[in-house]
Amino acid sequence: MGSFKSSVFILVLHLLEGALSNSLIQLNNNGYEGIVIAIDPNVPEDETLIQHIKDMVTQASPYLFEATEKRFYFKNVAILIPENWKTKPEYVRPKLETYNNADVLIAEPNPAGNDEPYTEQMGNCGEKGERIHFTPNFLTGKVASQYGSQERVFVHEWAHLRWGVYDEYNNNQKFYLFNKKREAVRCSKGITGKYEAIQCQGGSCTNKPCRIDTATGLYKEGCEFIPFEPQTEKASIMFSQSIGSVVEFCTEKNHNKEAPNPQNQKCNLRSTWEVIRDSEDFQKTTPMTTQPPAPTFSLLQIGQRIVCLVLDKSGSMSNGDRLKRLNQAGKLFLLQIVEQGSWVGMVTFDSAAHVQSELVQINGATERDALTKSLPTVASGGTSICSGLRSAFAVIRKKFSTDGSEIVLLTDGEDNTISSCFNEVKQSGAVIHTVALGPSAAKELEELSKMTGGLQTYASDQAQNNGLIDAFGALSSGNGAASQRAIQLESKGLTLQNNQWMNGTVLVDSTVGNDTLFLITWTTQLPQILLQDPSGKKHDGFVVDTNAKMAYLQIPGTAKVGPWSYSLQASSQTLTLTVTSRASSATLPPITVTSKMNKDAGKFPSPMAVYAKIHQGSLPILRATVTAVIESVNGKTVTLELLDNGAGADAAKDDGIYSRYFTAYDTNGRYGVKVWALGGINAAGQRVTPQQNGAMYIPGWIENGEIKWNPPRPEISKNDLQGNQVCFSRTSSGGSFVATGVPQAPIPDLFPPCQITDLKANIHGYKFINLTWTAPGDDYDHGTAHKYIIRISTSILDLRDKFNESLQVNTSNLIPKEANSKEVFVFTPENISFENGTDLFIAIQAVDKSNLKSEISNIVGVSLFIPPQSPPETPTPSPPCPDINVNSTIPGLHILKIMWKWLGELQLSVAL
């Protein structure tokens, strides 16, 4: 236990790196420390799961050590145990470990029966993943025949999570042609096996030979590659770690670069080991000469939430109604966001700290109302952030340890002494969420969030953007069940003139509705408020707070499902509307939207990427309209439509993660991020395969020379969830980031088109090659590119390494479309031999009007397959027909000739 706690200081250094993930993992002398494995609160209490986790990691560590040439092992792991499980003396309170930053989540399958292990990956090749997902059935070995042993799967998923590599199999294309041979998509080719299909009828199943598609030369759907047993090939873990002989990652020596798999597509044909070798982990380690120790484990149990608000009331807080806006946001947090049973205290600071309230447990409206009366109402004095933090630690320590507590720190002022308490913050074990208000908040503020894993947000002085309320609305607990967390349905603002109206609707869907709150703020005087539920019933009774210039209404019970209509009327003032709710059921997962940037600091001209994950439980929500608004410190806003199309910044299509690049820098400093999501269709509304970035589902195995088949890989069907068609609205704070290196206007064009990552190719008519891809833009995935360069080669490596020397295709008639449009281009290879059995490789580069070029696209291959001619059939004698003159005027003959011609063309097209 001691070694785990002593790692916090090194852990802090890792957090300062500003990686995509919020993980607490650090690498120390070849050993991974700070790994967090969390058991979801909805998992029924089962103490044996803890031992299964320990066994999995303990057995995985030597497998990882040997697979990485004695470089890495698992040193220590924290296991997060739900609050609703029984307490034990050996369970201690977490420090910085939360469900939000867990590296592995053990959760019930959703829908039931889908126990596939997988890893969320938002970024590009080589970028760390987000989180590994396992189910209790996987952990206890109940699906070992489908995925292999838990410890080997864990190493497969670890490679996704830590090094950003991808799978070397492909469920969507299991076979390909190369050198006139049908090959299974695998790495390495040294893995041998049978090609078999299974046919089931009336409860009995028989093996069948795989059938060949005469149009493509490939095996038809239903065919599987079943590896022989035993094997001698040692690679690769990212193909199928379940094969007994497989103990290594593919290297450049045995990598199957022609296989159409995600690793080749996303990593520029590099082997898994090449990507790992380029990682920061690899660069700062050398192989060990001794065997590593076994992992150690810390058992941490989630406890009651402990929060202390630390609020700036210095003189600058009187500017621009900041203090009133702080009161509005603070009241939302205290009345609605913080969960029942939490302990909440309050400290304010100017030149010194003032305790406004000791820790109070929230049991109902009485405590909430009392805390709101402690919010500051007068602003004066200087800014001493460390005084406020030290006072908050003292408030918490009167009742609890600061381990695992939270501090919400808001300031609008500069403080050049803030670094004087960094060491105290590091040692406290508290998570600090920071809210930077206005353009002059201390530049070092974000360091406090980074070093403790807290949320960092920014709110401008533009009241209509509702940034301060959004920041406090994002502060739901990082622990506890999803049904307990506040969910923001709406956040809008508008400046009205001459008795104008602010009208709109808020969708309350079936997954939310409990504890629903409508909050309205204004800048001068109370507006007229009209609110109707979906049945047309008007709702009055808003509680009006004239001092804080806000009114709110709590909907009793569960709010009615459907559109709630609001109309607000005012003159010459700014209004905002915020609506929050909670899950309608403890068993039906609510639709949630979580948003973030790929990093917390951007240096011009490097683009930022904004992500919004929209899920219901573990299922993605598809075809939602998702919009990000990014606001600079100047108050300028940029609106981006986020897409789930697998192109540009989006890593995978239809995974419920919507993405887009941000390039519209206008100044240095902080940028705030907010996301709106509307509508959407649950992935259960259609048949879709589950998440791809995970261990391969084993179709079957060979036992004593006979194939033993597993059940078919599970699919999600439209009946797996209630209400497969869901209309909803959500808003989400994406935190903030800091931009540096932005030149003064006019800002030069230094942004090339983004890389094309979804190029596909197929052959028509034995000579036409049909290409499809998603159009990039002039600046990454915005605007319109100027032209495309398409090159081909019979050598995949020549095309990658000598692209500019490869044969160029004539694209003079190819005019680029606007970014994110679908491009189609058909060409016939010229000046290159294209005969039966030819393997041809193709890649694209986009060029913008400033002659900036994108990276080379993913490389695709086509193989010309002309099926052998069938032996001529012996004609059947037919009765003699009279001679017919082709120019005859016999009625109907012209139509007959057209039919003959049409049937011939139809036969030809079917053959193609």
User: Residue 760 in contact with residue 771, Cβ under 8 Å?
Assistant: yes
> Residue 457's domain is classified under what CATH number?
3.40.50.410
Of 463, 495, 521, which marks where a domain is finished? Answer: 463
Tokens of 690: 């589950």
Is residue 836 assigned to a domain? yes
Q: How many domains does the chain have?
A: 6
Compute the Cα dihedral for 694, 695, 696, 697 and give only its sign.
negative
Q: 301-331 pLDDT, tens per residue?
A: 999 999 999 999 999 999 989 999 999 999 9
- SS3 string, 100-119, reads CCCCEEECCCCCCCCCCCEE
Per DSSP, what are the bridge partners of residue 784?
818
Is residue 21 assigned to a domain? no
Tokens of 65: 């050590």
Is residue 879 assigned to a domain? no
Is residue 473 assigned to a domain? no
User: Residue 359 in contact with residue 399, Cβ under 8 Å?
Assistant: yes
Q: Is the pLDDT of residue 97 over 60?
A: yes
- Average pLDDT on 246-267 reads 97
Is residue 883 assigned to a domain? no
In a shared domain, residues 357 and 445: yes
pLDDT of residue 690: 45
pLDDT of residue 877: 52
Q: 527-544 pLDDT, tens per residue?
A: 999 999 999 999 999 999
Alpha-helical segments (H) within 34-128: 48-67
Q: Is the pLDDT of residue 887 over 60?
A: no
- Range in 361-375, 477-491, 647-661, 665-679 the model is least confident about: 477-491
CA distances from 658 to 467, 649, 680, 817 (A): 22, 9, 12, 21
pLDDT of residue 145: 94
Q: Is the pLDDT of residue 505 over 60?
A: yes
pLDDT of residue 683: 59
Respond yes or no on whether the N-terminal peptide bond of residue 236 is cis (omega within 30° of 0).
yes
In a shared domain, residues 795 and 776: yes
Residue 368 identity (one-letter amino acid): R
Is residue 700 assigned to a domain? no
- Average pLDDT on 818-846 reads 95
The number of beta carbons lying within 10 Å of the beta carbon of residue 726 is 21
pLDDT of residue 201: 76
H/E element, 773: strand 768-774
- Range in 202-216, 233-247, 753-767 the model is least confident about: 202-216
In a shared domain, residues 525 and 620: no
What is the C-alpha to C-alpha distance for residues 199 and 205, in angstroms, rounded to an integer?
5
| Residue indicated by tokens 């939360």 | 98
Residue 603 identity (one-letter amino acid): K
Percent helix, strand, coil in the chain, to 5, is 20, 35, 45
In a shared domain, residues 143 and 284: yes
What is the C-alpha to C-alpha distance for residues 190 and 834, in angstroms, rounded to an integer?
29
Q: Is the pLDDT of residue 708 over 80?
A: yes
In a shared domain, residues 358 and 375: yes
pLDDT band of residue 716 (cuts 50, 70, 90) is low
Higher model confidence: residue 204 or residue 660? 660
pLDDT band of residue 14 (cuts 50, 70, 90) is very low
User: Residue 408 in contact with residue 334, Cβ under 8 Å?
Assistant: no
How do beta strands 193-201 and 31-33 pair? unpaired
Q: Is the pLDDT of residue 421 over 90?
A: yes
Residue 465 region, left (φ>0) first, then alpha (ψ -120 to 50), else beta? alpha
- Average pLDDT on 481-489 reads 90
Compute φ and ψ for 250, nearest 5 degrees.
-65, 140
pLDDT band of residue 682 (cuts 50, 70, 90) is low
Q: Is the pLDDT of residue 882 over 60?
A: no
User: Which residues contact residue 901 at a Cβ distance below 8 angstroms, ignoring those fewer than 6 apart?
Assistant: none
Give the single-character DSSP code of 278: T
Give the single-character DSSP code of 797: H
In a shared domain, residues 455 and 347: yes
In a shared domain, residues 73 and 199: no
CA distances from 876 to 433, 879, 883 (A): 85, 10, 19
In a shared domain, residues 141 and 190: no
In a shared domain, residues 332 and 430: yes
3 state SS of 16: coil
- Range of the structural domain that residue 238 is part of: 175-254
In a shared domain, residues 160 and 183: no
In a shared domain, residues 688 and 820: no
H/E element, 241: none
Is residue 603 assigned to a domain? no
pLDDT of residue 554: 96
In a shared domain, residues 416 and 503: no
CA distances from 643 to 655, 730, 799 (A): 11, 16, 30
3 state SS of 185: coil
Count CA atoms within 13 Å of residue 676 on its CB side: 18
pLDDT of residue 726: 74
Q: Is the pLDDT of residue 601 over 80?
A: yes
pLDDT of residue 725: 61
> With a threshold of 0.75, does the pTM exceed it?
yes
Please give the mean pLDDT across all residues of the chain. 90
% of the chain beyond a pLDDT of 90: 81
**Catalytic positions, written as ranges:** 157
Is residue 6 assigned to a domain? no
Rounded to the nearest 10 degrees, the angle between the axes of helix 48-67 and helix 150-163 is 70
Q: 147-198 pLDDT, tens per residue?
A: 999 999 999 999 999 999 999 999 999 999 999 999 999 999 999 999 999 8
Of 554, 587, 620, which marks where a domain is finished? Answer: 587
User: Residue 237 in contact with residue 255, Cβ under 8 Å?
Assistant: no
- Average pLDDT on 18-27 reads 72
Of 416, 437, 463, which marks where a domain is finished? Answer: 463
pLDDT band of residue 713 (cuts 50, 70, 90) is confident
